[in-house]
Amino acid sequence: MTFNGKTLLALYLNIEGFTSVFSNKSVFVGNIFLVKIVFRASMLFKILFYALFLKKTVFANDWDLNLEQRSLPMDNKH
């Protein structure tokens, strides 16, 4: 099942609580359950992806910062 931009926009607006401005309301209502599942799965995937990505970058930046601080002398406060 493929979604075009109009269908995705209509389903997104319905999830956000707005009324549909498109004419094909039977398909619109029929796809709501499927799209809510797809929407929640995609949001969960994005959250997991960003969590792993941010965790990786934060650890990398922390490691770089530690290396940078180790290379500086201890009395670097002005």
What pLDDT tens digit does each residue of the chain (78 aa) get?
A: 455 666 666 666 565 554 444 445 555 566 667 777 777 777 778 777 777 776 665 555 555 555 555 555 655 555
Question: Within a domain: residue 29?
Answer: yes
Q: Which residue from 40, 41, 31, 36 is spatially nearest to 2, judged by alpha carbons? A: 31
Question: Within a domain: residue 49?
Answer: yes
Question: Within a domain: residue 59?
Answer: yes
**18: containing domain:** 5-71
Q: How many domains does the chain have?
A: 1
Question: Within a domain: residue 30?
Answer: yes
Question: Within a domain: residue 36?
Answer: yes
State residue 77's pLDDT score.
57
State residue 52's pLDDT score.
72
Question: Within a domain: residue 13?
Answer: yes
Residue 33 CA to residue 41 CA, distance in Å, equals 12
Question: Within a domain: residue 19?
Answer: yes
Q: Given phi > 0 = left and psi -120 to 50 = alpha, else beta, which region is 21?
A: alpha
Question: Within a domain: residue 78?
Answer: no
Helix 32-71, helix 5-15: angle, nearest 10 = 90
